[in-house]
């Protein structure tokens, strides 16, 4: 999967490295600011309430 992406990226090794870093940052930001805030209430791994929780 990652090898496939690496081969698809244009340019020499330096350009590929830079593009990879960009893609990583973009995916990370998408996860942190969009996906995780959405998923967090669905997966409450630090719920501190006793009793039948809503």
Partner 1 sequence: MRIALARIIHGVGELILTAGVLLVLFAAYGLYGTAAETEAEQDRLNTVFHTGPLAAAPPPARESEPVSVLDIPRLKKSWVVVEGVSQKALKKGPGHYPETADPGEVGNFAVAAHRTPSFFWDLDLLREGDEIVAETRSTRFVYRVVRQRIVTPGQVEVIDPNPDAPGAPARREMLTLTTCHPRMANYQRLVVHAELAESLPKGAA
Which residues sit at the interface with partner 1, rule CB under 8 A? Answer: 1-2, 28, 31-32, 36-37, 39-41, 43-51, 53-54
What is the nearest approach in angstroms of partner 1 to the Cβ of residue 49? Answer: 5
| CB closer to partner 1, 11 vs 35 | 35
Other CB atoms within 10 Å distance of the CB of residue 29:
10
| CB closer to partner 1, 3 vs 12 | 3
Calpha distance 15→47 (Å, rounded): 45
Task: Extract the tokens encoding 48.
Answer: 């501190």
Tell me, what DSSP letter sits at residue 27?
H
């Amino acid at each position: 999967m990652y090898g496939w992406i690496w081969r698809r990226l244009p340019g020499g090794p330096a350009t590929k490295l830079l593009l990879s870093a960009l893609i990583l940052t973009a995916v990370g930001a998408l996860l942190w600011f969009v996906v995780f805030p959405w998923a967090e209430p669905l997966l409450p791994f630090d719920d501190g309430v006793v009793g039948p929780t809503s």
